[in-house]
């Protein structure tokens, strides 16, 4: 992905960052953080599957995926950080001619409701959505912000107020975006969703009522943590889980029909017995 960004987005801040990262002495994160930069959104974190990578990347859009992430909120054209970036671009024979988005960790409004206890990934302590009867919503996979995997270096990145990448950057771009297994699950959950939601088969539902269907392959996307072989195995597991859920649903519906038929039979039997008793008397 880094090479692709360098080649296809040559005159962008993201391309310059990729060039710096590739040439930086280890540890690259420390070297670049001293220059005021932590990375670009597309390369900070990874996800567990191609389908999740596609839909989350499409949800954010290319401009956000290529956003430069820094700590300082003073990243204007006259700032030291901006001049450093332009200087680095010039030293590599590049010019940043395209407008670019900068996400400053210190300027974001972080998640303040705590983290999951004893979680090495420092996921946000968010309550799962429920149906009015208290049951969990079928097909809910999780909140997008908690489905981003961070490596050890990324987990160490903090704003000056001590909040990590998940609490600042990813909560800032995803908010409380919900992820569902299928479009059918998402459609059924819409009356119970306050905000945006996506499904792993490509549907994006916005809070404003706009729904985007279909599936595409974004040019810029999150890296995937599993191998192709592992992902195929996971897909088979998901298909088997889907069949299991469908069978369970059919069994539940069958039991409901059976209970209704038993009630009808009892009612008819009681009426029959009452009539026969009347005749006999």
User: What CATH number has the domain bearing residue 192?
Assistant: 3.30.70.1620
111 in a structural domain: yes
258 in a structural domain: no
CA–CA distances in Å: residue 278 to residues 271, 273, 275 = 11, 9, 5
Radius of gyration of the chain (CA): 26
255 in a structural domain: no
250 in a structural domain: no
Q: Cα–Cα distance between 71 and 160 in angstroms, integer?
A: 8
Q: 168 or 92: whose pLDDT is higher? A: 168
Full domain range(s) for residue 57: 2-212
The single-letter DSSP state of residue 9 is S
Return mean pLDDT, the chain. Answer: 85
Contact in structure between 21 and 2 (CB atoms under 8 Å): yes
> Of 42, 37, 44, 26, which is closest to residue 86 (Cα–Cα)?
37
278 in a structural domain: no
State yes or no: pLDDT of 232 exceeds 90.
no
Q: How many domains does one find in the chain?
A: 1
Neighbours of 13 (CB within 10 A): 25
pTM greater than 0.85 (yes/no):
no
150 in a structural domain: yes
Q: What band does 183 get if pLDDT is binned at 50, 70 and 90? A: very high
113 in a structural domain: yes
219 in a structural domain: no
């Amino acid at each position: 992905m880094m090479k692709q960004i360098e080649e296809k987005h040559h005159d962008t801040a993201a391309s310059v960052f990729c060039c710096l990262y590739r040439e930086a002495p280890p540890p690259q994160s420390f070297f670049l953080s001293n220059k005021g930069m932590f990375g670009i959104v597309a390369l900070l974190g990874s996800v567990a599957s191609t389908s999740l990578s596609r839909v989350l990347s499409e949800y954010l859009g290319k401009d956000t995926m290529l956003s430069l992430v820094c700590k300082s909120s003073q990243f204007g054209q006259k700032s030291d950080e901006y001049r450093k970036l332009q200087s680095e671009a010039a030293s590599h024979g590049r010019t940043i001619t395209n407008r670019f988005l900068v996400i400053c960790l210190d300027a974001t409004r972080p998640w303040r409701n705590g983290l999951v206890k004893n979680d090495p990934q420092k996921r946000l302590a968010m309550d799962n959505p429920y149906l009015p009867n208290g049951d969990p919503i079928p097909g809910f996979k999780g909140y997008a912000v908690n489905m981003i995997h961070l490596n050890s270096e990324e987990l160490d990145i903090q704003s000056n107020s001590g909040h990590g990448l998940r609490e600042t950057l990813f909560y800032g771009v995803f908010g409380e975006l919900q992820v569902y297994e299928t479009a059918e699950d998402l459609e059924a959950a819409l009356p119970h969703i306050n905000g945006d939601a996506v499904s792993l088969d490509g549907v994006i539902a916005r809070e404003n009522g706009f729904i985007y269907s279909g599936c595409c392959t974004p040019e810029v996307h999150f890296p995937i943590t599993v191998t192709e072989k592992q992902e195929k195995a996971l897909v088979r597991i998901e298909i088997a889980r889907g069949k299991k859920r469908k069978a369970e649903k059919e069994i539940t519906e069958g039991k409901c029909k059976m209970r209704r038929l038993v009630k009808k039979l009892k009612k008819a039997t009681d009426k029959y017995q009452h009539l026969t008793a009347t005749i006999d008397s």
